[in-house]
Amino acid sequence: MQEGGDVAFLLRITFLAGKGRVPLYGEHPLWSFQPIAGRPSFTGGGSDPSEYGLFCWKKGHQGEGRILGPLEWRG
């Protein structure tokens, strides 16, 4: 990835709490996190019982990440 490039993942919010990810956050600090308001349905058969968020990293970012306002899921 080029300097300043972005990568984003739609992940379960529990991704934040994994002990094994502590080294990841040290080497590659999260640039921003945005919770998803509403639960996505990935199969069209109803919502998933998990909470999701948009996790974003920016190559070269150092320091604290930002928590942004929620995105509304319209699936």
| Residue listed under structure tokens 């972005």 | 6
Going residue by residue through the chain, which has 75 residues, state the pLDDT in tens, using 9 for 90 and above. 787 799 999 999 999 888 888 898 888 899 999 999 988 777 777 777 889 999 999 998 999 999 999 999 876
Is residue 53 one of the residues assigned to a domain? no
Is residue 15 one of the residues assigned to a domain? yes
Q: Over the range 22-53, which residues count as b (16 or more CB within 10 Å of their CB) and which as e?
A: eeeeeeeebbbbbebeeeeeeeeeeeeeeebb
Given this model, what pLDDT does residue 54 score?
95
10 alpha carbon, distance to own chain's centre: 6
Task: Read off the pTM.
Answer: 0.83
Pick from 57, 51, 25, 23: nearest CA to 38: 51
Element (H, E) at 25: helix 22-27
Is residue 55 one of the residues assigned to a domain? no
Number of domains into which the chain is organized: 1
Write out the residue range of the structural domain in which residue 7 sits: 1-39
